[in-house]
């Protein structure tokens, strides 16, 4: 029974870090897109 509880904790931490990294990755893509948009030739 205690193994099940510990396993749930690991799964929750994995999901939390996955969402944090995914959000940072999306923000990086948005920043790069806007950064490159400023320097496009007219």
What's the confidence (pLDDT) of residue 3? 57
Domain count along the chain: 1
Cα separation, 12 vs 29, in Å, equals: 26
The pLDDT of residue 6 is 59
Taking the C-alpha atoms of residue 14 and residue 7, their distance in angstroms, rounded to an integer, is 11
Does the pTM of the predicted model rise above 0.75?
no
Q: What whole-number distance in Å separates Cα of residue 35 and Cα of residue 31?
A: 6
Residue 8: count other Cβ atoms within 10 Å of its Cβ. Answer: 10
User: What pLDDT sits at residue 10?
Assistant: 84
Which residues form the domain of 24?
Answer: 1-42
- pLDDT value for 30: 96
**Per-residue pLDDT tens digits of the chain, which is 42 residues long:** 555 655 667 888 999 999 999 999 999 999 999 988 887 765
Instruction: With residue 20 as reference, give the H or E element that holds it.
Output: helix 2-38
- Please tell me the distance from the alpha carbon of residue 10 to that of residue 7, in angstroms, as a whole number: 5
């Amino acid at each position: 029974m205690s193994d099940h509880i510990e396993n749930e904790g690991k799964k929750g931490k994995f999901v939390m870090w996955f969402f944090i990294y995914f959000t940072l990755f999306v923000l990086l893509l948005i920043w790069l897109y806007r950064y490159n948009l400023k320097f496009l030739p007219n």
